Each structure stands twice: as structure tokens, then as C-alpha cells.
Amino acid sequence: MKREFAIEISERALIFLANRPEDLQRFLTASGLDGIELLEGTGDSAILSAVLNHLASEESLAKEFSEEEKLKPGTLLQACATLDPHGSSSW
């Protein structure tokens, strides 16, 4: 997967979370970020990777996001691997 496509998916994932306040709050709590840090870091690949990893770690969220975005099975995980190939995301 091309990095640009993985970034696009992660940005859409962030919008998906932003439209779901409870899920967004769980991400913020898990990541240790606050809303301002998240807004300021929307172009940061580590934060975008953390968003994808968060979605991928919750099966129901991953399924809802993938269905809403009409992603093929495995695309979310491919995007995670593209942005964080060594699984080194600190979140």
C-alpha cells in the first residue's frame, strides 16, 4: 500500500472518531493526548498511526469504519503496517 493512501485512510479514521465522542474520548485517554494536541498533530504520522491502531484494536470499530468507508477486508491493517511498519507506535 502506498503511504499516501494509508495517510488518507488514517485521516478518514480520525474524522470517523471525531464523529463519535465516546470513542474519541477512549482514544484520547488511551493515547494520553488531549484535544488540542490531537488537533495540532493531525499531520503527524505517529498520531495518525495511533488512530489506525486504536480502530484496529477494537473489532466493532474496525468493522464499522471499514464498512462505512467501503474498505476491502485487510485494508485497515495494511494501512497500520504502512504507517508503522515495525509496530513501534508509542500509543
pLDDT for residue 11 is more than 70: yes
Neighbours of 31 (CB within 10 A): 19
- The string of pLDDT tens digits covering residues 21-65 is 999 999 999 888 888 888 777 777 888 888 899 998 899 999 999
- Cell numbers describing residue 12: 478518514
Residue 38 in domain: yes
With beta carbons less than 8 A apart as the criterion, state whether 64 and 84 touch.
no
Q: Which domain holds residue 22?
A: 3-83
The pLDDT-based confidence of 76 (bands split at 50, 70, 90) is very high
- Number of independent structural domains in the chain: 1
Residue 49 in domain: yes
Give 40-45 contacts, CB < 8 A, sequence gap 24+: 42/11, 42/14, 45/7, 45/83
From CA 35, how far away is CA 33, in angstroms rounded?
A: 7
Say what the pLDDT of residue 40 is. 78
